[in-house]
């Protein structure tokens, strides 16, 4: 996919069947819309362009839904539903919407790196910030959802990723999210 166009995420939020959750997700989306359609998904690894966050998130939601549908049509019993899949896919990188600023470092620019981490960010686990950000919109995640978001990098953790972000203890929602994130980040999001 190319640079995000406006509102590409909204149609997926409209698919949430729980009307209360849908309303809260759309309120969060509308509140952060400017940042959502500006932020990159990363400084250099993947989707590192303006609008990259929205493009990556849309890909993750779409991939996760199609994998979920495939599993359900294969009669696999899952301890979560499609609303869980859409929710965790939508918010899995929410802490990144204000993490990066365009770099002024000429050396980085020459290397093709557009972004740097914004100064003043408190050091914390990524998923802790996601939990706090969604709580502002009265979205209170359960343990399975938090674990899936914490572990979504699987074995591809970085220093800034969750300390729990390794393959061994992922729940099934985390495996699905990680698979979608991996496909988007490593296949669709790289030139
Ligand atoms: Fe991601």
Q: What is the mean pLDDT of the chain?
A: 89
Per-residue model confidence as pLDDT tens digits over 85-108: 999 999 999 999 999 999 988 998
The whole-angstrom separation of Cα 187 and Cα 20 is 34
CA of residue 151 to ligand 1 center, whole Å: 11
pLDDT tens profile 18-69: 999 999 999 999 999 999 999 999 888 889 999 999 999 999 999 999 999 9
Q: How far apart are CA 68 and CA 97, in angstroms?
A: 26
pLDDT at residue 190 tops 50 = yes
What pTM does this model have?
A: 0.91
Q: Find the 73 Cα to ligand 1 centroid distance in Å.
A: 26
Alpha helix (H) residue ranges in 50-171: 52-73, 82-91, 106-110, 126-135, 143-150
54 C-alpha vs ligand 1 centroid, how far in Å? 10
Distance 59 CA to ligand 1 centre (A): 9
Cα–Cα distance measured from residue 185 to residue 121, given in angstroms and rounded to the nearest whole number: 24
Tell me which of 1.10.3210, 1.10.287, 2.40.50, 2.40.128 is the CATH number of domain 10-188. Answer: 1.10.3210
CA of 19 to the centre of ligand 1 (A): 25
Q: Where are the domains of the chain?
A: 10-188
C-alpha triplet 15, 17, 22: angle, nearest 5°: 75
How far apart are the C-alpha atoms of 174 and 22, rounded to whole Å?
21
Share of the chain above pLDDT 90, in %: 69
Given this model, what pLDDT does residue 10 score? 96
Other CB atoms closer than 10 Å to residue 70's CB: what's the count? 10
**Residue 142 in this model has a pLDDT that exceeds 70:** yes
Q: What is the pLDDT of residue 152?
A: 84
**pLDDT in the model for residue 124:** 86
What is the reported pLDDT for 191? 64
> Is 80 exceeded by the pLDDT of residue 6?
no
Distance 181 CA to ligand 1 centre (A): 5
Tokens of 147: 């674990």
What pLDDT score was predicted for residue 143?
95
> Is the torsion defined by CA of 123, 28, 187, 168 positive or negative?
positive
């Amino acid at each position: 996919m190319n640079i995000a166009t406006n509102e590409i995420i909204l149609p997926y939020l409209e698919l949430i069947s729980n009307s209360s959750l849908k309303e809260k997700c759309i309120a969060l989306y509308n509140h952060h819309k400017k940042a959502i359609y500006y932020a990159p998904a990363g400084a250099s690894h993947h989707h590192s362009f303006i609008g990259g966050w929205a493009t990556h998130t849309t890909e993750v939601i779409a991939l996760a839904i199609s994998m979920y549908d495939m599993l359900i049509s294969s009669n696999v019993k899952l301890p979560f539903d499609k609303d869980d899949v859409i929710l965790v896919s939508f918010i899995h990188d929410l802490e990144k919407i204000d993490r990066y600023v365009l770099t002024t470092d000429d050396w980085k620019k020459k290397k093709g790196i557009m972004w740097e981490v914004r100064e003043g960010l408190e050091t914390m686990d990524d998923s802790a910030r996601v939990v706090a950000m969604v709580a502002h919109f009265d979205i209170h995640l359960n343990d399975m959802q938090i674990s899936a978001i914490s572990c979504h990098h699987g074995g591809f953790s970085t220093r800034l990723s969750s300390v729990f972000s390794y393959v061994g203890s992922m729940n099934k929602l985390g495996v699905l999210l990680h698979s979608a994130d991996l496909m988007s980040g490593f296949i669709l999001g790289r030139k």
